[in-house]
Amino acid sequence: MSEAPDLSPVIEQDPLDLRLSIASIVHWADSREVRVRVMEKIGFPVDDIPMFVVVNQLAYRGALRPTDLAATLGTGKANISKIVRRLEEIELVARVPSPSDERSVLVALTDAGRELGERIMAVAQAQVDEVTLGWDPQEVENLRRYIARFARQAFAGLAMTPGLRERP
């Protein structure tokens, strides 16, 4: 008869462990609950999280090739094509020729999509403001700089993060 499995986490639950903190932030930001709440707050026109996530990513990153969008979202080109088609039907995105490669197409937000993107950014800022309420302004500035530096270094060399390496 074998021993009972150890049910505890592999990582020690130290609240100052950077790995645990980063995993917690990613889990929070990527959670269904947060996405549904944001969709409700901004009045997203359909109850479709993959469509919301595409609009969200385009709001953060600007127009992307469908293959880059698929890689960013961890899905396949066929699935992205279906999601983009649904977004085109409700006029939130459009496929446009790439200015740098005439054989390529980009998925871009329409004016209506950009308006939703602006609402997403406002909700995201409100969430940050709520979490950092009561913090010293210098603490918020330090956090901003350290997280930006961490993100640049973590994504250095990855083609799926256009523009990230160029930011200060």
Domains of the chain, first to last: 18-131 (1.10.10.10)
Query: Is pLDDT at 161 greater than 80 in this prediction?
Result: no
Average pLDDT, the chain: 90
By the 8 A CB rule, do 37 and 48 touch? no
User: Comparing 16 with 109, which gets the higher pLDDT?
Assistant: 109
CB 165 within 8 A of CB 152: yes
CA atoms within 13 A on the CB side of 147: 11
Kindly state the tokens that stand for 156: 């250095």
Q: How does residue 167 score in pLDDT terms, banded at 50, 70 and 90?
A: very low
Instruction: Return the structure tokens found at 83.
Output: 């999601």
User: By percentage, how much of the chain surpasses pLDDT 70?
Assistant: 92
* 108 pLDDT above the threshold of 60: yes
Query: Is the model's pLDDT at 163 over the cut of 60?
Result: no
